[in-house]
Amino acid sequence: MDLSEIGLIGLGTMGAALSLNIAEKGFRISVFNRTVSRVDGFLAEAGPLAERITPTRSLEDFVASLAEPRAIILMVPAGEAVDAQIAALRPLLGPDDLIIDAGNANFHDTNRRAAEAVAQGVPFLGIGVSGGEEGARHGPSIMGGGDRANWDRVSHILEAISAKYEGEPCATWMGEGGAGHFVKTVHNGIEYADMQLIAETYGVLRDGMGLSAAECGEVFGRWNDGPLRSYLVEISARVSAATDPETGSPMLDVILDRAGQKGTGRWTVIESQQVGAPVPVIEAAVAARNLSAALETRRAGQELFGAAPQSLPDGTLSLDDLEAAMIAGKIMCYAQGFDLLARTGAQHGWALPMPEIAEVWREGCIIRSDMLNDMAAALRGEPERNLIFADYFADLVARNHVALRKVVSTGALHGLPMPALSAALSYFDMIRTERSTANMLQAQRDFFGAHGFERIDAAGKHHGPWASGQDRP
Ligand code: NDP
């Protein structure tokens, strides 16, 4: 039997697709799955690719089928399953055998596993894989983390299976330890926000302008030919146009408005709070999903207060206004995401390659869009600078923020919820206000806690007259 160049454990949605992708690119791969019967089913569906796939029915056989030094991809649920799988594998492996966790791990777990691997002298990589099943099968975006030498050992395989943007592989090493999984986490946080911005705009089209699902689909389709061209806008057009085979109704109209989530958006927000890099558009998107899940509360709210009017008088907003608001909102969201990446990277000692992060997201992943190409160019100039200050994006913001304000204020007047678009507008207004209202916060903090404040006209730390009771009558 020929030994395999790589192995994969976990033939679920992602693992099965990734294994077929690896085999298709000419690599021999061994596969194993906890529920062993799934291996046979997988092989039966592999078609001609089965000749490059070695099915195994025990961990021992799996390990024995791999060429040394071995490389093993884990594609199992994040968390305990990964630790359990590593613990089961380790006694069977040699000191140079590499375990690669390709699931959606929390990057703190990856940092811990990487540190444990270093202490034990065994190689470990944590890689983020984006693109869903389709991406895994035909070319995902891959964000690598861990020891660079270990990445170099398998990068030829990961680059071969990754998506390509104008021939360039969308697979990049981001840094040590959990850097790859952190970049993937922020990718997902941005994904939440991108999706929410689209959903809010859909709300204006549907409830404000009275468009049918099919008409909404046509609008998204048109926007996909402009600056908003992206996978998410494209699939929004497609899901809007789809018909439910059971009822004949538009598919969107029969889908319950209760959104699921697996936690990566929440992790992004938690991390932003840890490092003090605000991501309010992403926060709004996570909160919106949480509120969507509270269906009973929303029902009770509508019963008690009545539904907001929502319907807009003719001519209140144009489709151009909505498109421009989405452009401005999207720029704010990405500016926040990249700012979080830069600040967290600095805190963890990672020199995160900012332009390359934008580049690796240009194809294969869920947030892929044309705008990421311009972001890569802007970040190449000054990677640490907030994206909205880069010439190209400053110009786009200048041309579109008025429409964002018009859309958000219209939404407020007519009861169309726009948490992410509103958060984008407030972020913009705060970031362009030199004299903010935090002087009031500082005065309050000094009053009740004697925390002191800086003055605009003198250096050092000061206290207000309230400290000595002079303000009191
Ligand atoms: P699935 O639920 O489709 O498959 C999970 C796989 O893991 C199955 O093969 C399952 O085996 C195995 N497994 C589950 N628990 C254990 C365990 N305790 N020990 C060993 N094996 C176990 O998941 P996905 O393929 O969707 O996801 C896999 C990983 O990829 C996750 O981390 C996910 O977050 C990530 N991911 C998923 C994406 C997606 O779009 N689905 C996109 C990007 C990343 P068994 O057959 O025995 O149940």
Q: Do 210 and 112 fall within a single domain?
A: no
For CA atoms 333, 334, 335, 341, the dihedral sign is positive
With respect to residue 278, please indicate whether it lies within any of the assigned structural domains. Answer: yes
The pLDDT score that the predictor gives to residue 299 is: 96
Distance, in Å, from the CA atom of 415 to the CA atom of 302, rounded to the nearest integer, reads: 12
Distance, in Å, from the CA atom of 194 to the CA atom of 188, rounded to the nearest integer, reads: 10
Q: For residue 355, what are its two tokens?
A: 């332009």
With respect to residue 438, please indicate whether it lies within any of the assigned structural domains. Answer: no
With respect to residue 446, please indicate whether it lies within any of the assigned structural domains. Answer: no
Distance, in Å, from the CA atom of 360 to the CA atom of 332, rounded to the nearest integer, reads: 20
pLDDT tens, N- to C-terminus, the chain (473 residues) = 799 999 999 999 999 999 999 999 999 999 999 999 999 999 999 999 999 999 999 999 999 999 999 999 999 999 999 999 999 999 999 999 999 999 999 999 999 999 999 998 889 999 999 999 999 999 999 999 999 999 999 999 999 999 999 999 999 999 999 999 999 999 999 999 999 999 999 999 999 999 999 999 999 999 999 999 999 999 999 999 999 999 999 999 999 999 999 889 999 999 999 999 999 999 999 999 999 999 999 999 999 999 998 899 999 999 999 999 999 999 999 999 999 999 999 999 999 999 999 999 999 999 999 999 999 999 998 888 999 999 999 999 999 999 999 999 999 999 999 999 999 999 999 999 999 999 999 999 999 999 999 999 999 999 999 977 766 55
With respect to residue 109, please indicate whether it lies within any of the assigned structural domains. Answer: yes
- Whether residue 110 contacts residue 181, with contact meaning beta carbons closer than 8 Å, is answered with yes
Q: Do 360 and 216 fall within a single domain?
A: yes
Assess whether the C-beta atom of 103 lies below 6 angstroms from ligand 1.
yes
Q: Measured from the CA of 38, which atom of ligand 1 is nearest?
A: 46
| Number of domains observed in the structure of the chain | 2
Q: For residue 379, what are its two tokens?
A: 């970040």
Q: Do 250 and 351 fall within a single domain?
A: yes
Assess whether the C-beta atom of 77 lies below 6 angstroms from ligand 1.
yes
* Distance between Cα 124 and ligand 1 center (Å): 19
* Distance between Cα 74 and ligand 1 center (Å): 9
With respect to residue 265, please indicate whether it lies within any of the assigned structural domains. Answer: yes
With respect to residue 51, please indicate whether it lies within any of the assigned structural domains. Answer: yes
Q: Do 348 and 422 fall within a single domain?
A: yes
* Distance between Cα 129 and ligand 1 center (Å): 13
* Distance between Cα 262 and ligand 1 center (Å): 12
Q: Do 80 and 226 fall within a single domain?
A: no
Distance, in Å, from the CA atom of 289 to the CA atom of 306, rounded to the nearest integer, reads: 22
Q: Do 141 and 232 fall within a single domain?
A: no
Distance, in Å, from the CA atom of 425 to the CA atom of 332, rounded to the nearest integer, reads: 8
Q: Do 378 and 255 fall within a single domain?
A: yes
Q: How far lies 211's CA from each of 51, 205, 267, 285, 341, in Å?
A: 51, 6, 35, 24, 38
Peptide bond into 69 cis (omega under 30): yes
Nearest CA residue ID for atom 13, ligand 1: 76
CATH code for the domain in which residue 299 is found? 1.10.1040.10
Distance, in Å, from the CA atom of 462 to the CA atom of 471, rounded to the nearest integer, reads: 15
Assess whether the C-beta atom of 302 lies below 6 angstroms from ligand 1.
no
Assess whether the C-beta atom of 360 lies below 6 angstroms from ligand 1.
no
The pLDDT score that the predictor gives to residue 313 is: 95
Q: Do 166 and 270 fall within a single domain?
A: no
The pLDDT score that the predictor gives to residue 473 is: 54
Q: Do 318 and 408 fall within a single domain?
A: yes
CA angle 9, 99, 361 (to 5 degrees): 85
**What domain range includes position 65?**
6-177
Nearest CA residue ID for atom 5, ligand 1: 12
* Distance between Cα 379 and ligand 1 center (Å): 34
CATH code for the domain in which residue 75 is found? 3.40.50.720
Q: Do 154 and 63 fall within a single domain?
A: yes
With respect to residue 456, please indicate whether it lies within any of the assigned structural domains. Answer: no
Nearest CA-CA partner of 3 in 22, 27, 20, 25: 27
Contacts made by residues 261-266, CB under 8 angstroms, sequence distance 24+:
261/192, 261/286, 261/289, 262/104, 263/106, 264/104, 264/184, 264/185, 264/188, 264/189, 264/192, 265/188, 265/189, 265/191, 265/192, 265/289
With respect to residue 454, please indicate whether it lies within any of the assigned structural domains. Answer: no
The pLDDT score that the predictor gives to residue 470 is: 65
Q: Do 198 and 241 fall within a single domain?
A: yes
Assess whether the C-beta atom of 216 lies below 6 angstroms from ligand 1.
no
User: Which of the residues are catalytic?
Assistant: 184, 191
Contacts made by residues 267-273, CB under 8 angstroms, sequence distance 24+:
267/106, 267/107, 267/185, 267/189, 268/185, 268/186, 268/188, 268/189, 268/190, 268/192, 268/337, 268/340, 269/189, 271/182, 271/185, 271/186, 271/340, 271/344, 272/336, 272/340
Assess whether the C-beta atom of 10 lies below 6 angstroms from ligand 1.
yes
Q: How far lies 235's CA from each of 225, 287, 333, in Å?
A: 13, 23, 20
Nearest CA residue ID for atom 14, ligand 1: 76
Assess whether the C-beta atom of 14 lies below 6 angstroms from ligand 1.
yes
Q: State which of 9, 11, 13, 113 you would mutate to test the pocket of ligand 1, scoring each by most atoms of that ligand within 8 A of its C-beta.
A: 13
Q: Do 126 and 208 fall within a single domain?
A: no
The pLDDT score that the predictor gives to residue 382 is: 86
